[in-house]
C-alpha cells in the first residue's frame, strides 16, 4: 500500500518535471534550454527509484538502479550547464569566472561507463533482498565503483554549490534571493539524499526534493521578478528625474512624494501629506486642474521668475475602479530660457543685437500681408567701401563701426519700425514716412565718424529709400529697390540719401528690356559698327575706329552711352563686342582689294577679359575672314590693365606677336600712370582730349599734351589725339608732333557706306 502510494507520488513528480521541462523548452529566454535539460535530467533518478520500489525481481531492481545512478550523472551534467547559464547571464559576468570546468563532464562520462561495466564485473554495487512494508525490497550494497560514482557526483555538486555561494555573495542585495533560494534547496536536497544513501533506508523519499528542486529552478529562472527590485527601481527613476511627483490614494490622501517634490516645496520631513499641502499653498488647489493636461504656471517676478508645468491625472483598474491619482510638477524655467535664447540667437545678429536678415524680412513680410504698411518707407543703409574700411582699420574697428551704425539706426527708430542687419555692410529698416526727415539725415550722415578709443574715422554711409508698394509682397524686392536707388548718388560725395523714384524705376525697366533684346538685335543686324575716320598728319584717312550703334526698331538710333554701361555691368558686353569684332573683320575682308592698308580699331571692354577669351575670339574671326591682322587694331583701356596685369600683358603680347597693333585708349582719362606705360606692350597711345577740353588753363594743358607726345616718341609709341574738333586743334597737335588724329573735325562716326564714300572721294574715285 505504502509502496503503491510512493509509485503514484513518483509518477506525479515525473509528470511535474516533464511539464516544467516542456514549458522551459518553449520559452524564448536564453536560459530556457538549460532549464529544460535540468528538469528532464531529474526524471531518470525518480524513475529509477520508482522502478526499484516497484521491482519484484532483482533484475528489474538492477534496471532501476542503473537508471538511477546513470541518471544522477545526467543530473550533474545538466546542473553544471544550468549553473553556467544561470550564474552567467543574469549579471553578465564573464563565462570563465563562474564556469564549472569542462573536465568534470569527462569524469561524468567515465562514471557512466564504469557503472555500465558493473553488469559484467559487478565492481560497483550488488543488490540484496530485504523486506520492506511486507514485501521484498532490493537494497544496494556499494562497492568500489559506487564509491567512485559518489565522489564524482558529490564533487560536481560541491563545485556547483561553491559557484552559487560565490555568486550570492557578489551580486547586489536585491538579486541575492534568486541565488540563495536555489543554493539552500541544493544543500537541503543533497543532505536529504545523503541521509537515504548512507542510512540505506528503503524507498528514497528525497526524490520529492528532486521535483521541488526542479520546480524552484523553473520558477526562479523563468518567472521570478524581484518585486522589491521593481519597486526600488521605479522609485529611483522617479527620484532621479527633476519632476516632482506626488501620488494620492483613491480617497485623495497623499501617500507618496518623491525627492524633487520635497525640494520644490522646501519640506524637510518625508511626510507626504505635508508635502502635498505645501504644494497646494504654492500653486493653489490642484484638484481643480484639468485631467491629464499640462498647465503652465508662473511664480515670482523678474529675474526670480520661475515657470512650472503642472499636470494631474488618475489611475483606474481594468474594471474602471478608482485606484488613486498623481500630480506632476516640472520646473521649466531653464527650458524656457534656453528656448528663448535659441530663438533670440536664430533671429538676431550676434554683433549688433539687431534682427538678422531672415527675421527682418519675415517681420516685414508679415506686415505686408496684413497691408498695414501704408505710408511706410523701406530703407537700406549701406556702408560704402566697408571691405576696404575693414581692411585698412582692422576688424575690431570695423565691428565698432557696425555697432555705431546700429545704434544710430536705433536712435532714429521707434516701436513702429522694423529694422535689422541684412548683410555684412547693409542694414535695413521699414519705417513710417513721417519719421524720415531728409535734411536731418543728410546733416547727420555728412560727418558720420566712427570712434574707438582714441581713433576716429569718417565712414561714408548711404541711405536708399523706396515706398512700400502694396503690390509687392516681398521685402527682398523692396530692399533691392532701395539699394538700386543708391546708384544715383554713387559718385556724388555730397549726397547720402537717395530715393527709388520714377526715373530709376523706368531706367530699371529699360535696362531689363534692352538686355532681353540684345541677342535678337544682333541676329537682326540692328547692332552695327559705325566708322569714325582716323587721319595722319597730312589729314589723309588711314583708318577708322569701329563704334557701335543700335538702330532700334522702336527707340530709333541709339548711341553706346544708352546701353554700353548696362552691358558692362551685367556682362553682356562680351556678346556685343564679339559681334562688333566679327563685323570689323568682315568689313576689312571686303576692303582687302579696294582699300588695302586701311585699318579698323575695335574696342575691348575690361569686362570682356572676364567674360570671354578675347585673344581666341579675335584671332578666330581674323582666320575666318582671312584678313591681315595688321589691319585690325585692338583698343584697350588702362582700367583693363589694373587687374591681373601680368595675364593681360601676356594677351597683348600675344596679339602683337601675331601682327596686331595694340592701342591704349583714353590715355589721360583714368588712373594714368606714366610709369605703367613704359612696361605696357602697346603700339599706339590714344590721348583723350576730353580731359583737356574743359581746362581753363590752356597753356598748362598744352604742356601736358606736349610732354605726353614727347614721352610716347621716346618710347617709340605712336600718338593719336582723340576729340580733334577744329582745324586749330589739328594744327596745334600737329605742331606738337602728334602722329594720328581722330575727331569731329574729320568726321563723326558714320555708316560703312558713308565712310567708304569718304575714302573714294579722297582718292578721287567718286
- 221: its cell numbers: 529562472
| 432 grid coordinates | 513710417
The end-to-end CA distance of the chain, in Å, is 156
Distance, CA of 461 to CA of 425 (rounded, Å): 10
Q: Per-residue x/- marks for Ca ion, 666-705, CB under 5 A?
A: x---------------------------------------
Question: Which residue in the set 49, 190, 265, 603 belongs to the binding site for Ca ion (CB under 5 A)?
Answer: 603
- For ligand C2E, the closer of residues 334 and 524 by Cβ is 524
CB environment 663-677: b (16+ within 10 A), e (fewer): bbbbbbbbebeeeeb
Cell triple for 717: 609709341
Could you give the C-alpha distances from 55 to 4, 106, 127, 205, in angstroms and in order? 11, 32, 12, 16
84 or 665: CB nearest Ca ion: 665
**Which strand (E) or helix (H) includes residue 511?**
helix 502-523
CB-nearest residue to ligand C2E: 743
754 grid coordinates: 558713308
Angle at 98 (CA atoms; ends 92, 102), nearest 5 degrees? 125
Binds ligand C2E by CB under 6 A, chosen from 749, 750, 752, 758? 749
121 binds, options Ca ion, ligand C2E, none, Cβ within 5 to 8 A by partner type: none
Size of the site for Ca ion (CB under 5 A): 5
Residues 540-599 that bind ligand C2E (CB under 6 A): 547-548, 559-561, 564, 573, 577, 580
Helix-, strand-, coil-residue percentages of the chain, each rounded to 5:
55, 20, 25
- Identify which of 507, 520, 571, 506 has the alpha carbon closest to the alpha carbon of residue 550: 520
Interface segment toward Ca ion; rule CB under 5 A; list 385-393, 445-453, 598-606, 623-631: 598-606
Residue 580 interacting entry, from Ca ion, ligand C2E, none, C-beta within 5 to 8 Å by type: ligand C2E
Nearer to Ca ion by C-beta: 111 or 638?
Answer: 638
CA distance 31 to 79: 12
- In the complex, minimum distance from the CB of residue 538 to ligand C2E, in angstroms, rounded to a whole number: 19
Contact letters for ligand C2E, residues 657-686 (x by CB under 6 A): --------xx--------------------
Query: Strand, coil or helix: what is 452?
Result: strand
Contact between 44 and ligand C2E per CB under 6 A: no
Q: Which is nearer to Ca ion, 467 or 722 (CB)?
A: 722
Q: Residues 33, 93, 98, CA angle at the centre, nearest 5°?
A: 75
Q: How far is the CB of 628 from ligand C2E (least distance, A)?
A: 21
Counting contacts by CB under 6 A, is residue 612 touching ligand C2E?
no
How many beta carbons lie within 10 A of that of residue 356, not counting itself?
Answer: 18
Whichever of 349 and 608 has its CB closer to ligand C2E, that residue is: 608
Of 189-197, 242-250, 465-473, 717-725, the segment contacting ligand C2E by CB under 6 A is 717-725
- The piece of 239-247, 272-280, 312-320, 718-726 that touches ligand C2E (CB under 6 A) is 718-726
Interatomic CA distance for residues 401 and 452, integer angstroms: 9
Shortest distance in whole angstroms from residue 730 CB to Ca ion: 17
**CA–CA separation, 179 vs 162, rounded Å?**
11
Cα–Cα distance, 123 to 110 (Å, whole number): 15
* Three-state SS annotation for 535-581: ECCCCCEEEEEEEEEEEECCCEEECHHHHHHHHHHHCCHHHHHHHHH
Q: How many CB atoms lie within 10 A of CB 699?
A: 7
Q: Give whichever of 290 and 693 is closer to ligand C2E, judged by the CB atom.
A: 693
Answer whether 371's CB lies under 8 Å from 470's CB: yes
Member of 532, 612, 631, 752 binding ligand C2E (CB under 6 A): 532
Min. distance of Cβ 424 from Ca ion in angstroms? 37
635 binds Ca ion, rule: CB under 5 A: yes
Choosing from 189, 214, 533, 723, the residue that interacts with ligand C2E (CB under 6 A) is 723
Residue with smaller CB distance to Ca ion, 264 or 548? 548
Q: How far is the CB of 532 from Ca ion (least distance, A)?
A: 9
- Looking at the Cβ atoms of 561 and 764, the one nearer to ligand C2E is 561
Q: What gap in Å lies between CA 144 and CA 654, rounded to an integer?
A: 115
Nearer to ligand C2E, 172 or 561 (CB): 561
Please, what is the minimum distance in Å from the beta carbon of residue 708 to Ca ion?
Answer: 14
Q: Do residues 664 and 642 touch, judged by C-beta distance below 8 A?
A: no
Cell of 346: 536664430
Q: Given the DSSP bridges, would you call strands 376-383 and 426-432 parallel, antiparallel or unpaired?
A: antiparallel
- Each residue 707-726 as x (binds Ca ion by CB under 5 A) or -, in order, gives ---------------x----
Cα–Cα nearest to 160, from 99, 211, 214: 99
Distances (CA, A) of 99 to 153, 181, 498: 17, 20, 90
User: C-alpha distances in angstroms, 579 versus 3, 173, 524, 554, 607?
Assistant: 123, 94, 12, 21, 15
Dist CA 28 CA 101 (whole Å): 27
Nearest to 182 by CA among 157, 149, 206: 157
Judged by CB under 5 A, does residue 638 bind Ca ion?
no
13 or 750: CB nearest ligand C2E: 750
Q: Which of residues 74-93 bind ligand C2E (CB under 6 A)?
A: none
CB 543, min distance to ligand C2E, A: 14
Count of residues touching ligand C2E (by CB under 6 A): 20
Region binding Ca ion by CB under 5 A among candidate stretches 528-536, 587-595, 661-669, 744-752: 661-669
Nearer to Ca ion, 330 or 648 (CB): 648
- Beta carbon of residue 724, minimum distance to ligand C2E (angstroms, whole number): 6
Instruction: Assess 743 for contact with ligand C2E (CB under 6 A).
Output: yes
φ and ψ at residue 533, rounded to 5 degrees: -60, 150
Closest approach, Cβ 688 to Ca ion, in A, equals 6
Binding mask 326-365 for ligand C2E (x = CB under 6 A): ----------------------------------------
Using CB under 6 A as the criterion, which residues of the chain lie in contact with ligand C2E when the complex forms?
Answer: 532, 547-548, 559-561, 564, 573, 577, 580, 603, 605, 665-666, 723-725, 743-744, 749
Using CB under 5 A as the criterion, which residues of the chain lie in contact with Ca ion when the complex forms?
Answer: 603, 635, 665-666, 722
Amino acid at each position: 500500500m505504502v509502496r503503491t502510494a510512493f509509485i503514484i507520488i513518483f509518477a506525479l513528480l515525473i509528470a511535474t518535471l516533464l511539464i516544467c521541462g516542456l514549458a522551459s523548452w518553449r520559452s524564448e529566454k536564453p536560459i530556457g534550454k538549460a532549464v529544460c535539460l535540468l528538469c528532464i535530467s531529474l526524471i531518470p533518478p525518480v524513475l529509477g527509484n520508482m522502478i526499484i520500489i516497484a521491482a519484484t525481481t532483482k533484475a528489474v531492481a538492477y534496471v532501476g538502479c542503473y537508471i538511477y545512478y546513470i541518471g544522477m550523472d545526467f543530473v550533474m551534467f545538466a546542473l553544471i550547464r544550468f549553473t553556467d547559464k544561470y550564474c552567467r547571464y543574469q549579471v553578465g559576468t564573464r563565462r570563465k569566472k563562474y564556469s564549472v570546468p569542462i573536465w568534470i563532464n569527462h569524469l561524468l562520462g567515465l562514471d557512466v561507463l564504469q557503472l555500465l561495466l558493473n553488469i559484467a564485473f559487478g565492481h560497483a554495487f550488488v543488490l540484496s533482498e530485504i523486506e520492506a512494508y511486507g514485501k521484498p525490497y532490493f537494497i544496494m550494497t556499494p562497492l568500489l565503483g559506487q564509491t567512485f560514482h559518489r565522489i564524482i557526483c558529490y564533487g560536481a555538486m560541491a563545485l556547483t554549490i561553491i559557484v552559487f555561494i560565490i555568486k550570492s555573495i557578489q551580486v547586489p542585495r536585491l538579486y541575492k534571493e534568486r541565488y540563495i533560494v536555489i543554493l539552500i534547496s541544493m544543500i537541503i536536497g543533497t543532505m536529504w539524499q545523503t541521509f537515504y544513501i548512507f542510512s540505506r533506508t528503503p524507498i528514497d523519499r528525497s526524490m520529492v526534493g528532486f521535483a521541488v528542486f526542479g520546480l524552484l529552478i523553473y520558477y526562479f529562472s523563468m518567472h521570478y521578478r524581484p518585486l522589491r527590485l521593481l519597486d526600488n527601481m521605479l522609485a529611483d527613476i522617479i527620484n532621479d528625474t527633476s519632476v516632482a511627483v506626488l501620488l494620492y490614494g483613491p480617497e485623495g490622501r497623499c501617500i507618496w512624494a518623491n525627492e524633487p517634490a520635497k525640494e520644490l516645496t522646501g519640506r524637510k520631513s518625508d511626510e507626504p501629506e505635508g508635502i502635498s499641502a505645501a504644494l497646494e499653498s504654492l500653486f493653489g488647489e490642484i484638484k481643480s486642474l484639468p485631467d491629464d493636461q499640462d498647465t503652465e504656471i508662473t511664480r515670482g517676478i523678474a529675474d526670480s521668475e520661475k515657470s512650472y508645468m503642472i499636470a494631474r491625472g488618475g489611475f483606474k483598474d481594468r474594471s474602471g475602479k478608482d485606484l488613486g491619482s498623481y500630480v506632476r510638477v516640472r520646473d521649466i524655467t531653464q527650458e524656457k530660457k534656453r528656448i528663448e535664447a535659441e530663438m533670440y540667437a536664430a533671429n538676431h545678429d550676434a554683433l549688433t543685437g539687431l534682427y538678422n536678415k531672415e527675421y527682418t524680412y519675415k517681420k516685414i513680410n508679415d506686415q505686408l500681408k496684413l497691408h498695414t504698411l501704408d505710408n511706410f518707407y523701406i530703407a537700406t543703409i549701406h556702408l560704402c567701401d566697408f571691405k576696404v574700411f575693414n581692411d585698412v582699420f582692422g576688424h575690431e574697428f570695423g565691428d565698432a563701426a557696425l555697432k555705431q551704425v546700429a545704434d544710430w539706426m536705433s536712435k532714429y527708430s521707434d516701436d513702429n519700425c522694423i529694422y535689422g542687419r541684412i548683410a555684412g555692410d547693409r542694414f535695413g529698416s521699414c519705417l513710417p514716412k513721417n519719421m524720415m526727415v531728409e535734411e536731418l539725415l543728410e546733416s547727420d550722415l555728412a560727418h558720420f565718424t566712427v570712434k574707438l578709443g582714441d581713433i576716429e574715422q569718417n565712414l561714408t554711409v548711404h541711405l536708399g529709400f523706396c515706398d512700400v508698394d502694396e503690390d509687392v509682397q516681398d521685402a527682398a524686392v523692396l530692399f533691392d529697390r532701395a539699394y538700386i536707388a543708391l546708384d544715383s548718388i554713387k559718385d556724388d560725395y555730397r549726397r547720402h540719401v537717395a530715393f527709388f523714384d520714377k526715373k530709376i524705376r523706368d531706367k530699371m525697366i529699360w535696362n531689363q528690356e534692352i538686355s532681353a533684346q540684345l541677342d535678337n538685335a544682333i541676329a537682326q543686324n540692328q547692332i552695327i559698327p559705325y566708322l569714325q575716320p582716323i587721319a595722319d598728319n597730312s589729314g589723309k584717312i588711314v583708318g577708322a575706329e569701329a563704334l557701335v550703334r543700335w538702330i532700334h526698331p522702336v527707340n530709333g538710333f541709339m548711341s553706346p552711352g544708352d546701353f554700353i554701361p548696362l552691358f558692362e555691368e551685367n556682362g553682356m558686353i562680351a556678346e556685343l563686342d564679339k559681334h562688333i569684332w566679327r563685323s570689323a573683320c568682315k568689313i576689312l575682308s571686303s576692303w582687302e582689294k579696294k582699300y588695302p592698308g586701311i585699318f579698323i580699331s575695335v574696342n575691348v571692354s575690361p569686362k570682356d577679359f572676364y567674360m570671354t577669351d578675347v585673344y581666341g575670339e579675335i584671332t578666330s574671326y581674323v582666320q575666318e575672314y582671312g584678313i591681315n591682322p595688321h589691319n585690325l587694331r585692338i583698343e584697350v583701356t588702362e582700367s583693363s590693365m589694373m587687374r591681373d596685369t601680368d595675364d593681360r600683358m601676356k594677351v597683348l603680347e600675344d596679339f602683337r606677336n601675331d601682327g596686331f597693333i595694340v592701342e591704349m585708349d583714353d590715355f589721360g582719362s583714368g588712373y594714368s600712370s606714366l610709369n605703367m606705360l613704359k612696361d605696357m606692350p602697346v603700339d599706339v597711345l590714344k590721348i583723350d582730349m576730353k580731359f583737356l577740353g574743359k581746362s581753363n588753363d590752356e597753356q598748362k594743358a598744352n604742356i601736358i599734351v606736349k610732354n605726353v607726345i614727347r614721352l610716347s616718341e621716346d618710347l617709340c609709341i605712336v600718338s593719336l589725339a582723340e576729340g580733334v574738333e577744329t582745324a586749330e586743334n589739328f594744327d596745334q597737335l600737329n605742331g606738337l608732333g602728334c602722329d594720328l588724329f581722330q575727331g569731329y573735325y574729320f568726321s563723326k562716326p558714320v555708316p560703312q557706306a558713308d565712310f567708304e564714300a569718304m575714302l573714294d572721294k579722297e582718292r578721287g574715285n567718286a
